[in-house]
Amino acid sequence: MNFVSAISLAGPHVLVTSTFPDTLNRNPGIRSDLAEGFAELLGVERVIQSPLELAVSVIRASRPDVVVAVGSLVPDLSDLRELRRAADAVGAVLIFWLTDDPYEFDYAFKADLYADIVVSNDSWAAQHYRHPDIHHLPLAAAPNRHFRPICPVAERETVMFFCGVAYPNRIALMRRIDDFLSRHVVEILGAGWPDTLRCAVNRRLTPAQMADYAAAARLTLNIGRDLDVANRRLSLPQATPGPRTFEVALSGSTQAFFVTGLEICEHFEPDTEILLVDGAGDIARAIERSLDEPEAIETIARRAQARALREHTYRHRAARLLDFSRLTVPA
C-alpha cells in the first residue's frame, strides 16, 4: 500500500483506468468522464486514461502519483494483481471507485486485496466494507456529454421519458401506469419490455440520444435498478441514486424520482429541484402538473441543472477522490 510522499506543487499526475477489461465494459464513458473531470482540475497534461488492458504499461511509462480504477469487481479475468504490482513499482496510490454496488457486493473482498483506498458508489454498501480506507462517492454527470440547454417546457411535446433495462421492479411500476401513460405522448424506451406493456417500446438509445430525449421531455421518470449480479451474501439494498439522476438533471429535464430511500434529498431538494413519487397516483399528478404548470416544471429543471453543475459533475468527484488520497485540489 502506498501513499504519495512528494507531489509537485502543481498537483499529482493521475491515471484513470477501469477495474475490468474493455471487452466486457459496456460503459467506458465513465472512465473518460472522470478523466476529463481530473483534467479540469489538474490540467490535461497531468491526466491519462487507459483501458485496464494497457494500464500496466501506461503506469510504467508515465509513473502517475494516483491510479484510479473505475468499475466492477466481478470479472475474475481482470488482472488487478498486475495493476497493484504496477502501482507498487512506481509508488502510486491505487484507488478503486466501484460503480456497481450494492449489486455486486459479494466481490468486495477483492478491493481489500488490491486497493489502497476503496470508494463505493453506494452509501449503504460502503458501510459494509471491511477495508480500512473506505469512502462513499456517488456517480455523477459529464457536462460535455449530458448538458443540454433548457428549452421551454411548454414547447416540449413528450410528456414523460424513460429509457432503461426492463428490470422486474420497473415492469411492475409501468404496469400500474400503463393505461395512464398510453393516453399521453411518452417515450418509454429501453430493452426487455414485455409486449403486454402498451406504453413501452424496445429501442436502445446512445448516451447522446438519451440526453436529447430527456431534454425534450417535460418529465423524466427515474426508477432505480433492483437486479443483483452477486449480492446474495448480505442482500444489500441500494441507497444512493444512480448516475442517471445526475445526468438527466444536467440534460435539463425535471425528474419524477421513485422513492426507495431519502438519500436523494442530499443531492437534490425535493419539490424545488426534483419531484419525488411513490406510486402511480403521484406519477399521474406529476404529468398533469407538467401540462398545467409548465413554467413551474421548467423552474425545477433549471434549478436541478444548476445544482448538478454546481455539485454533481465528475470534476467534483475527481476533487473528492483527491481528498480521499490526501491530495486535495480545490474543485
Interface contacts to another protein, rule CB under 8 A: 24, 26, 56, 74-82, 85, 88, 106-107, 109-110, 113, 123-124, 127-128, 130, 165-166, 168-169, 172-173, 176, 191-192, 226-239, 258-263, 270, 276, 278-281
Measured from the CB atom, the residue of 10 and 113 that comes closer to another protein is: 113
Sign of CA dihedral 111, 24, 99, 117: positive
Would you give the DSSP letter of residue 280?
A: H
Work out how close the CB of 58 gets to another protein at its nearest, in angstroms, rounded to a whole number: 14
**DSSP secondary structure string for all residues of 19-78:** SS-TTT-S-THHHHHHHHHHHHHH-GGGEEE--HHHHHHHHHHH--SEEEEEE-S--TTS
Work out how close the CB of 124 gets to another protein at its nearest, in angstroms, rounded to a whole number: 4
Cβ–Cβ under 8 Å, residues 51 and 76: no
Measured from the CB atom, the residue of 43 and 281 that comes closer to another protein is: 281
Work out how close the CB of 233 gets to another protein at its nearest, in angstroms, rounded to a whole number: 5
Measured from the CB atom, the residue of 232 and 310 that comes closer to another protein is: 232
Measured from the CB atom, the residue of 166 and 296 that comes closer to another protein is: 166
Measured from the CB atom, the residue of 228 and 293 that comes closer to another protein is: 228
Work out how close the CB of 199 gets to another protein at its nearest, in angstroms, rounded to a whole number: 16
165 has which bridge partners? 191
Task: Name which of 82, 40, 48, 44 is nearest 64 in CA terms.
Answer: 48
Work out how close the CB of 33 gets to another protein at its nearest, in angstroms, rounded to a whole number: 18
Cell of 278: 411513490
Cβ–Cβ under 8 Å, residues 68 and 14: yes
